Amino acid sequence: MANSISKPGILLLDKNRGPTSHDLVASLRRLLGIRRIGHNGTLDPMASGLMVMCVGNFTRLNPWLTQADKTYEATVRLGATSNTDDDEGVISPLDELFEPNLERVECVLDQFRGEIEQIPPSFSAIKVGGVRSHKIAREGKRADLSPRNVHIMHLTIQKYAFPFLEISVHCSKGTYIRALARDIGRELGCGGYLTALRRTGIGSMAIENALTMQQVEEHQVRGTLPEKFLSPRSALQGVEHIELSERSQMERFGHGNAVDLEREAFVGDCAVYHPNGDLCGMGKMESGRLKPTVVFATHPTN
């Protein structure tokens, strides 16, 4: 095996259907020879597509990366329901089957655009009274899950040939596409569940720039994997940023001290950069002062 990775970074991975998100983290840890690897944004085993993997101390960026919106391509199977809201559960066909026409489907989809309330699937990792919902569901009990507000920015039909409805979804963090498939089928009156899901984007990060696990292995053997790391500036495009140009400011920030700035362009979280483009850390702007939230002891090189 090639030498272990010593450089922190952000790696875009194209997950295949089958393995869990935890499986991929474990595989990367073995391959890269480093334990500190994490992901932001779990994909179910039946799903494929984009996962953002943080290597080394860049795992500390997860709280900001997880806030990004997501894009998906999904296939909904109409005419039946599933206790898991996907094709890995117990499938129950409806006794009276009818085929909603395209006009009816489009009308129903319009109900799910914008701000909506969504009840998560029973088979999910959400805790109810300290117990995972999927554990309660597997025991044959009903988990009392509260609805949550999510935002679906775009929801379009890619193809419809009953019983299969292919859609593309651009949504906020925390949206369950399995629940969306379930609810679309319910509103159509014919039932529905998810049969395929592929995540194509997280914020500004796209699946086109991701590597498969096989490609990761090839680059690791050649010693070229760090060249494939995504720059923090690219990954954090949705976060405000500040560049510290004075040495005294960088030293104060690097020691975890607040920095007084002569401007107050915004209030809230921000990424803090060295003039050469290195990420110094994350901070919060309040009343013209930059307060460190995360500080990297040494500047990353990309």
Residues known to be catalytic:
44
Distance CA 145, CA 298 (A): 44
Backbone angles phi, psi at 180, to 5 degrees: -65, -45
Q: How many CB atoms lie within 10 A of CB 166?
A: 16
- The alpha carbon dihedral of 113, 116, 121, 125 has a sign of positive
Q: Per DSSP, what are the bridge partners of residue 72?
A: 169, 199
Token representation of residue 210? 């991701």
Q: Which residues contact 61 (CB under 8 A, 6 or more apart)?
A: 10, 54, 232, 235, 236, 282, 294
Q: Where are the alpha helices (DSSP H) in 159-257?
A: 177-188, 213-222, 232-235, 247-254
- Whether residue 91 contacts residue 194, with contact meaning beta carbons closer than 8 Å, is answered with no
Provide the Cα torsion 7, 11, 16, 21; round to 10°.
Answer: 70
Compute the radius of gyration of the chain from its Cα atoms: 22
